[in-house]
Amino acid sequence: MKYEDYYTWQEDVPGFGREAQEKLKNASALVSRVGGLGGPLALSLAAAGVGRIILAHGGELRADDLNRQILMTHEGLGSERHDQAAETLRRFNRDLKIESVGENISEENVVGLVERADIVFSCAPLFEERLLMNRESMRQGKLFVDGAMCSMEGHVLAVDPGKSTCLGCLVKEPPAYWKRRFPVIGAVSAMVAQIAVLEGIKLLTRFSNPALDQMIHIDAQRMRMKKVRLVRDSACDHCSRIKI
Ligand SMILES: [Zn+2]
């Protein structure tokens, strides 16, 4: 089978076609991390035919990860998660070029990881990592999508660097109330992930318009979704110095 044989159904989407598919084929995506949000997100990127995916995630699989981390299986308990996630994606899509790194994003590795990607999907639970990825993506002029969730709520922010509101425009310091552990039903994190993937595909291909300068808010309790208009901070440390 050729690469093209797999994607004919999505090429039929109005405005998509072979041109958008070629852009996905030639794209590299960094996904950090690959838990409840990043796992289903990476799987949908692989299904959509994104050519290269770089996964960054530290730590071993625990039993209480398996309500949401769908790239992992029971057999992998106690083993490194990034290896399992990469193997699931390889088995799913044989054309996919995949790299996996057993580290979370940090000051030490962020420059090199972002350099290897055309688009960065920020799926980390902590604001420290999310802001670090945002800052470096803006500095390097890379497309950026931030996804986050807690309990029955989720948020997605798509950023065209230097042209639209970034996470640094909105959040200056990690909020003190935000904790590493928070309530998660896997279906909610997966729903947030799919919206982030769609915004990323729009950023990469421009087959339709991503929600720039808007925060997508998902309320899974009442099954409502809305977009909140944002105002870019002209003095933002992350994005205001980008030359377009
Ligand atoms: Zn900004």
Mean pLDDT of the chain: 94
pLDDT band at 176 (very low <50, low <70, confident <90, very high): confident
Specify whether domain 14-229 bears CATH 3.40.50.720.
yes
227: closest CA among 126, 157, 177?
Answer: 157
Mean pLDDT throughout 154-175? 95
Mean pLDDT throughout 51-68? 94
Question: 76 CA to middle of ligand 1, Å?
Answer: 39
Domain boundaries, the chain: 14-229
Question: 5 CA to middle of ligand 1, Å?
Answer: 40
What are the backbone angles phi and psi of residue 237, rounded to the nearest 5°?
A: -65, -25
Question: 101 CA to middle of ligand 1, Å?
Answer: 27
What confidence score (pLDDT) does residue 175 get?
79
Spatial contact of 200 and 173, defined as CB atoms under 8 Å apart: no
Question: 179 CA to middle of ligand 1, Å?
Answer: 24
Whether the full predicted model's pTM is greater than 0.85, yes or no, is yes
Question: 170 CA to middle of ligand 1, Å?
Answer: 7
Mean pLDDT throughout 157-181? 89
104: closest CA among 199, 204, 180?
Answer: 180
Cβ-based neighbours of 12, under 8 Å, separated by 6 or more: none
Question: 142 CA to middle of ligand 1, Å?
Answer: 13
Question: 195 CA to middle of ligand 1, Å?
Answer: 21
Nearby residues for ligand 1 (ion, Cβ within 5 Å) = 166, 168-169, 236, 238-239
Question: 239 CA to middle of ligand 1, Å?
Answer: 4
Question: 185 CA to middle of ligand 1, Å?
Answer: 31
Question: 37 CA to middle of ligand 1, Å?
Answer: 23
Mean pLDDT throughout 27-47? 96
Mean pLDDT throughout 106-115? 97
pLDDT band at 53 (very low <50, low <70, confident <90, very high): very high
Mean pLDDT throughout 1-27? 94
Question: 107 CA to middle of ligand 1, Å?
Answer: 19
- Give the whole-angstrom CA distance, residue 205 versus residue 212: 15
User: Could you give the 3-state DSSP secondary structure of residue 173?
Assistant: coil
Mean pLDDT throughout 63-84? 93
Mean pLDDT throughout 14-28? 97
39: closest CA among 80, 68, 6?
Answer: 68
What confidence score (pLDDT) does residue 85 get?
95
Give the pair of three-digit tokens for residue 180: 């590493």
Cβ-based neighbours of 51, under 8 Å, separated by 6 or more: 24, 25, 26, 27, 28, 95, 96, 97
- Give the whole-angstrom CA distance, residue 192 versus residue 108: 28
What confidence score (pLDDT) does residue 4 get?
83
pLDDT band at 244 (very low <50, low <70, confident <90, very high): low
- Give the whole-angstrom CA distance, residue 49 versus residue 131: 28
Question: 138 CA to middle of ligand 1, Å?
Answer: 8
Instruction: Reply yes or no on whether the pLDDT at 243 is more than 70.
Output: no
- Give the whole-angstrom CA distance, residue 233 versus residue 164: 10
- Give the whole-angstrom CA distance, residue 28 versus residue 52: 5
